[in-house]
Structure 1
Amino acid sequence: MCPDVEVRPESGLWKDSLDTKAAQEIANQIGRAFKKFDRDGFLKHLLTDEYHAAELKAKIFLIADSLYQFLPKKYSQTINILIKTAPKVGTFENWALLTYVEKYGLENFDESVKAMEALTPHSTAEFAIRPFMIRYTKQMKPILLRWATDTNEHIRRLAAEATRPRGVWVAHIDEFKKDPTFVFELLEHLNADESLYVRKAVANNLNDISKDHPKKVIATGKRWLKDKNKNSNWIVKHACRTLLKKGHPDVFGLFGFTKNPKITIGKFAFDKKLIKVGTSAVLSADIISQDKITQKLSIDFAIHYMKKNGKLAPKVFKLSEKSIKSHEQLSLTITHSFKEMTTRKHYPGKHKAELLVNGKSYVMFDFNLK
């Protein structure tokens, strides 16, 4: 999305973004670009009870479907209308225009690529482009390399997002999951990008690759860090977040963390033995150095949550990153919430908490949630 917009399609925050007023503005601007547009017919077709009750993503698809009913069937003509409309409507409205391209443009490669390049600065074509990436992988490669050096940050970001092997809410690109060589080639153009918006996409892409090719990502990160560029450093740190959480043995050295630190664990416990769902608890950890030299530590904790099926599943959280001097004791605390979330439901029963230092498990204890 635009640099200041992070979108979750089913987020309540965005549910009412495409209200009646937004639909009317789309109709008004389409009508200015296409004089024969049946504005009233479009709105009557779109603004049904189904539309008003729908979540954001569903509304976007309903808008695209309604546009298809009322715009010219000649695809190139419709694309020109959408391109003229794009600068005059908002981020989510443009997402709907791009969804039109996604749904109805797959057989029109050249016109659709032109549309996505023109519309992405007003929203993001990262979702719309996915079917084209899967069907036209070979044809897309030279276009993506050109985009990676574009002066517009939105287009550079699209190059990074489009080549993600996994992505979010999109189909995976099996070719890139098996062999990310082209993706690495493209990302070399973006490895020190001045735009944080672009750097986030580059880091997310590398994070995707790390799930299938961890050693290749670590090798790339090691090479990029040699440049001592602050933007490259930022990308590498965020790109390796999954490897750090999983405790991959080769990744910690990239960031100067001590291999096999000499430490012992004193206290590691919550401030209460029984924790109620909907409350918070304070987790404390005491780490004591057993070495004569300063050691750099990446300290995480994992909560092994009880799932609906009765099995435990761990989720790793960051506790701290600290340097610990000879025989020093670090005393760390963090308040952890057990409140219900849209992304996590809590189930009563026995859970586990685990302390991880530089990827290695040091201690674990049981606690009960009710």
Structure 2
Amino acid sequence: MADSAEAVPALKEIFNRERLRHVARETEAVWPDFDQKRFLKLATAGLDDLGIMQRMRQTAASLHDTLPEDFPKALPILKKLAPRIGHGFVAITLSEFVALYGQSHFKQSLDALKFFTRFGSSEFAVRHFLVADFERTIAAMWKWARDEEEHVRRLASEGSRPRLPWSFQLKNLIADPSPTGPILEALKADPSLYVRKSVANHLNDIGKDHPDLLVERVSGWDLSDKHTAWIVRHALRTLIKKGDPRALALIGTTGKAEVTVETFAVEPAKIKLGERIAIKATLGSTSKTAQRLVIDYAVHYAKKNGISRKVFKLKETELQPNATCELAISQTVKDYTTRKHNAGFHRVELMVNGEILAESGFDLRIPE
């Protein structure tokens, strides 16, 4: 029987031939002059060799070649098409169309991105406008941050992230993130979890280049608000994993942990790729008062040219005086698109409030 992981379709298959035929049918339904046959020929050209973002861009280009050439005439057709696509990532094609062909129609294009983001996020497309005309685009995004629609509010934060995954970096905002300050301030207590996740990720991006600025910004926020507190906790995650004492203090930890590590083990000691390891630990309090603890573990992955260390969340807990805390977690060691494993010893560290208190590890074998 095949491994279930092998049965999962590649992400790029979101834009498979059947999906493209669906786009073609729905486009003809809203614009009867649409040439389905020509669109499909263009959209499926070399499809098997294209990644997901390349397929999305090719779909947008194929729509451009089969819709009215004039951008303002094509836009109403795409707006009718948007609610009929039925898949959030596929609908990103529409905002990509705007990014590729709407640069000379600034106001119409930004209005279109605001509209399309409800069906498939315009976060990638709006970055092209930030590069082309930063001042006008960021001013529009300040307004979006106060919109009634959560998808539009999220676009204000997500689209202006300095280091948005799957997109190009905004070098000017990496150097100076202050222009997005009004967006983050407007959204710091947003009722929508969808928006709050974006704000936290945006702040985490800032913290990678300006940790002092991140701590200074969130230190002035009202952490008694549950939504704001959620954002701050997740925004500080990179600094927390590094053991930054200011970040740890902001989430309520009690400084250096007063604990003993009674046990710490990684089992089994030897595994093959695709097998699981179990990480177990027991902590004992040596404090006379309760302690707020952030407990993580770090794996040192063997690489061909050195070591790559990755920190994982284990638990946050309040440990009472003289009490013990049992910890256990398991993890499958397998290859991902973003991480390929190599044979060798992998050190595992136990971290409490950012301090390494114990070490263990496992040997990994890669089957031929």
User: Normalising by the residue count of structure 1, what TM-score does the alignment of the two structures yield?
Assistant: 0.90
- Asked whether the 8 Å contact 1:72–1:78 carries over to 2, the reply is yes
1:229 correspondence with 2:229: no
SS at match of 2:315: strand
1:320 correspondence with 2:315: yes
Q: How does 1:127-276 map to 2 (within 5 A)?
A: 127-226=124-223, 228-276=224-272
- Asked whether the 8 Å contact 1:293–1:326 carries over to 2, the reply is yes
CA distance in 1, matches of 2:90, 2:330: 40
SS at match of 1:88: helix
CA distance in 1, matches of 2:44, 2:178: 46
CA distance in 1, matches of 2:18, 2:315: 46
Instruction: Work out which of the residue numbers 5, 11, 33 in structure 2 matches 1:36.
Output: 33
Map of 1:281 onto structure 2: 277
Amino acid at match of 1:269: A
1:350 correspondence with 2:345: yes
Instruction: Work out which of the residue numbers 71, 76, 81 in structure 1 matches 2:77.
Output: 81
Count of residue pairs the alignment pairs up:
357
CA distance in 2, matches of 1:368, 1:94: 45
1:330 correspondence with 2:350: no
Q: How does 1:43-62 map to 2 (within 5 A)?
A: 43-48=40-45, 50-51=46-47, 54-62=50-58
CA distance in 2, matches of 1:86, 1:160: 22
Of 140-149 and 39-48, more deviation after overlay is shown by: 39-48
1:116 correspondence with 2:106: no
Amino acid at match of 1:132: F
Map of 1:105 onto structure 2: 102
Map of 1:360 onto structure 2: 355
1:157-186 residue CA offsets vs partner (Å, 9 max, x unmatched): 100111111111111112221222221221
Identify if the C-alpha distance between structure 1 residues 62 and 286 changes in structure 2 by more than 3 Å, giving closer, same or farther: same
SS at match of 1:293: coil
- Asked whether the 8 Å contact 1:225–1:236 carries over to 2, the reply is no
Report deviation, 1:36. Answer: 3.2
Amino acid at match of 1:362: L
Q: Report % sequence identity.
A: 36
1:19-78 residue CA offsets vs partner (Å, 9 max, x unmatched): 334323322333344343323322233334x22564433321221121122222212111
- Asked whether the 8 Å contact 1:305–1:313 carries over to 2, the reply is yes
Identify if the C-alpha distance between structure 1 residues 21 and 337 changes in structure 2 by more than 3 Å, giving closer, same or farther: closer
Report deviation, 1:354. Answer: 0.8
CA distance in 1, matches of 2:314, 2:241: 11
CA distance in 2, matches of 1:237, 1:191: 12
Amino acid at match of 1:136: D
Identify if the C-alpha distance between structure 1 residues 339 and 16 changes in structure 2 by more than 3 Å, giving closer, same or farther: closer
Report deviation, 1:260. Answer: 1.4
- Asked whether the 8 Å contact 2:12–2:55 carries over to 1, the reply is no
Amino acid at match of 1:185: P
1:64 correspondence with 2:80: no
Report deviation, 1:123. Answer: 0.7
1:214-238 residue CA offsets vs partner (Å, 9 max, x unmatched): 2222233232244x11111111111
SS at match of 2:75: helix
CA distance in 1, matches of 2:38, 2:363: 59
Instruction: Work out which of the residue numbers 64, 89, 93 in structure 1 matches 2:90.
Output: 93
Report deviation, 1:14. Answer: 4.1
CA distance in 1, matches of 2:137, 2:83: 25
CA distance in 2, matches of 1:271, 1:24: 50
Report deviation, 1:83. Answer: 1.7
User: Is there any run of 5+ residues in structure 1 with no aligned partner, and where?
Assistant: 1-10
SS at match of 1:129: helix
Map of 1:7 onto structure 2: none
Identify if the C-alpha distance between structure 1 residues 169 and 17 changes in structure 2 by more than 3 Å, giving closer, same or farther: closer
User: Is there any run of 5+ residues in structure 2 with no aligned partner, and where?
Assistant: 1-7
1:23 correspondence with 2:20: yes
CA distance in 2, matches of 1:198, 1:69: 35
Of 348-357 and 329-338, more deviation after overlay is shown by: 329-338
CA distance in 2, matches of 1:272, 1:29: 54
Report deviation, 1:281. Answer: 2.0
